[in-house]
Amino acid sequence: MSTAGRRGRRPGNPETRTAILDAAREAFAASGFRGTTIRGVASAAGVDPALVHHYFGSKDDLFVASLRLPVDPRERLAPALVGGPDGAAERLLRVFLSVWDDPANRLPLLAVVRGMFDPAGHRLLTEGFLPAVVLPIGRALGVDEPERRMPVVASQLIGLIMARYVLELEPIASMAEEEIIRVYAPTIQRYLTGDI
């Protein structure tokens, strides 16, 4: 029986969604963001590509879901992008710290960060997270040369993650949010809008 004329929610279950996410994570790790296709993920998961679109929408959305982050960084950062590049570093840091300093988010985020040190995780960061999440932030802010500036911004934030949350390096680990912002925001703002 043909399903072409059916409307409404497509059939599916949690196991199907999990199979798609597992296939996507493997595909993104093995082939990078550009080399991964919805059709390839669907084939690996044993489902129709339309079901992947139904559950996850775009390839960017599928990628972010495959990371199994406790929050969607694109949604959390959206309010910080309003207002353009001036003062953006402080706004971005406030969101960044609010997510990382939330105890409910910390362990899942640390698991993702630790996973970035194996070759597959490295590809997820460089070929997935940077083009799907980080570069669009720069474009949304309207910074010039986002392909050049945003990886530098990311390097600063990765360093902050390592020092504050992974290594718990003092005094950074125990600094109050306002102190972190005072110390880090000028450098990140220069990366966004100054000479680099």
- Most confidently modeled range among 31-35, 74-78, 128-132, 139-143: 139-143
Give the CA dihedral 50, 55, 57, 59, nearest 10 degrees.
Answer: -90
Average pLDDT in the 55-72 region?
Answer: 81
Confidence of residue 36 (pLDDT cuts 50, 70, 90): confident
> Looking at per-residue confidence, does 72 or 152 come out higher?
152
Distance of alpha carbon 84 from alpha carbon 138, whole angstroms: 9
Instruction: Round to whole Å and give the CA distance between 155 and 9.
Output: 42
SS3 of residue 117 by DSSP: coil
Note the pLDDT tens digit of each residue in 174-194.
999 999 999 999 999 999 999
Domains with residue ranges and CATH for the chain: 14-66 (1.10.10.60), 73-193 (1.10.357.10)
Count of alpha carbons within 13 angstroms of residue 152, beta-carbon side: 17
| For residue 171, cis peptide bond before it (omega within 30 degrees of 0) | yes
Nearest to 183 by CA among 100, 80, 106, 93: 93
Q: Determine what percent of the chain is predicted with pLDDT higher than 90.
A: 49
pLDDT at 89 over 70: yes
Task: Note whether 142 and 134 are within 8 A (CB).
Answer: no
Instruction: Give the model confidence (pLDDT) of 123-170 as tens digits.
Output: 677 777 788 888 999 999 999 999 999 999 999 999 999 999 999 999
pLDDT of residue 12: 53
What is the per-residue burial (b if ≥16 Cβ within 10 Å, else e) of 36-65? bebebbbebbebeeebbbbbbeebbebbbb
Q: What is the pLDDT of residue 7?
A: 42
- Enter the pTM of the model: 0.72
- Please state, in angstroms and as integers, the Cα–Cα distance from residue 137 to each residue in 41, 85, 86, 130, following that order: 26, 10, 14, 10
Tokens read off for 142: 């309207």
